Amino acid sequence: MPHTKTEKLAELLQRQHIIRPRDLARARIPRNYLMRLVQRGQLQKLARGTYTASTLPASEYISLLEVSRKLPKGVICLLSALRFHEIGTQLPSEVWIAIDVKAWTPRISSPAVRIVRFSGTALHFGVQERQVQGGKVRVFSPAKTVADCFKYRHKIGMDVALEALREAYKRKKASMDELFEAAKACRVANVMKPYLESLR
């Protein structure tokens, strides 16, 4: 069990990997410890108000965790969700995240973020909370992600949507029923129906 505040902070970093000043307040660690450890080289500043251990092993989820901490009500979506679920060949240079159509527009300088506005069922259907190295992220299920790709086909390309559908079904990431339910939730059932039938 950690005794010093530095040890408590090190334990917090082991659990979360990314910390913000308010995390320290909950653990009753003074905020000045952040700068103290940055100066010692034990901590690195990722962006304003976001820190991580300088020895943190590289993680493919680090940018997803960072954005999720800044937008706790957001949901990883579209190209980032495809990458998360290992569907298709997309390697997005930005973190795609869905927020409520009425939510304020956040100002995030790093990492690069693509905000997509969702509302109603489209925002709440198929949300999964997944544990990854360093914390939890909210991400749409594989079936919902595929349906979103069809909904936003003009933004990301029909070829991406079709690849996502074929791969998700072929690799058993989503069943036919799950895909059809997600298509209805996203109001793209008529668009997806012929493609779904071609998979049978």
Q: Is the pLDDT of residue 108 over 60?
A: yes
CB of 95 within 8 A of CB of 111? yes
DSSP state of 85: T
DSSP state of 58: P
Lowest mean pLDDT across 37-46, 47-56, 116-125: 47-56
Q: Is the pLDDT of residue 57 over 60?
A: no
pLDDT of residue 172: 95
Lowest mean pLDDT across 1-15, 70-84, 153-167, 182-196: 1-15
Q: Crossing angle, helix 189-199 and helix 158-170, to 10 degrees?
A: 50
Over range 160-181, report the average pLDDT: 96
Over range 106-122, report the average pLDDT: 88
pLDDT of residue 1: 53
pLDDT of residue 47: 67
DSSP state of 101: T
Distance CA 120, CA 118 (A): 7
pLDDT of residue 34: 81
